[in-house]
Amino acid sequence: MIVLSGTIGAGKTSLTQMLAEHLGSKPFYESVDDNEILPLFYKDPKKYAFLLQIYFLNKRLDEIKSAFANDTDVLDRSIFEDSLLFHLNADLGRATETEVTIYDSLLKNMMEELPNEPHQKAPDLLIHIQVSFETMLERIKKRGRSFEQIENDPSLYDYYKTLNQRYVKWFDAYDQSPKISINGDEYNFVEDTKAADKVMTIVDHELHALSLK
């Protein structure tokens, strides 16, 4: 199982589709457009932050179990980075200490590997897409989701900036599986086919090293 990570607008969905086609496997996408809670969260973060994270946690585990079918199925977001997002929301006063404790405990319990399980829940490889803050803002604006736009909520600027910074620290500390980082500024794989080919080569090399391909 291959899992993508990266901040908002990093290109996770695009790279997930490219990798699944390249590897002949199945992509699993984050539930956004059909997520009824996400727009509510942007309107009232304090009220809906905890509910949103529980929603995502449940969806992610469903995707992990479904991805057991093929060795190189690709998920477009790691279940582990949800904790990063929720802790940021807590630091911003959008969640209580009790909610954070419950969430962290639930995540740990759900992801615990049990004896004699045919599949592990942790990924075989995590691919992190690192983009600059400027690229992040540009892509958020380009994809045009109204509830994500700074023009509609100026406070999102600081939120996005902090989120981008925390992703760097999160990836450095991540130790649940082998990992590689793709420079999304250097390799604009969404719009540049040569960059996309280069990224596929990088991933192929890592998969061969891990005996996954």
Residue 140 assigned ligand-binding role:
yes
Contacts of 202 (CB under 8 A, 6+ apart): 180, 182
Residue 97 assigned ligand-binding role:
no
Residue 7 assigned ligand-binding role:
yes
Residue 24 assigned ligand-binding role:
no
Start-to-end CA distance of the chain, whole Å, equals: 12
Q: Note whether 176 and 113 are within 8 A (CB).
A: no
Contacts of 25 (CB under 8 A, 6+ apart): 19, 70, 71, 72, 73, 74
- Dihedral sign, Cα of residue 182, residue 185, residue 187, residue 192: positive
Residue 10 assigned ligand-binding role:
yes
Residue 135 assigned ligand-binding role:
no
Residue 13 assigned ligand-binding role:
yes
Residue 148 assigned ligand-binding role:
yes
Q: Note whether 181 and 130 are within 8 A (CB).
A: yes
Residue 69 assigned ligand-binding role:
no
Task: Quote the tokens at residue 199.
Answer: 């990224």
Give dist(CA 85, CA 145) in Å, integer. Answer: 19
Beta strands in 29-176 (DSSP E): 74-75, 125-130
Residue 11 assigned ligand-binding role:
yes
Residue 179 assigned ligand-binding role:
no
Give dist(CA 82, CA 73) in Å, integer. Answer: 20
Q: What residues are annotated to the active site?
A: 76
Residue 77 assigned ligand-binding role:
yes
Give dist(CA 173, CA 162) in Å, integer. Answer: 17
Annotated binding site: 6-14, 30, 42, 53, 77, 82, 139-143, 148
Annotated binding site for ATP: 6-14, 139-143
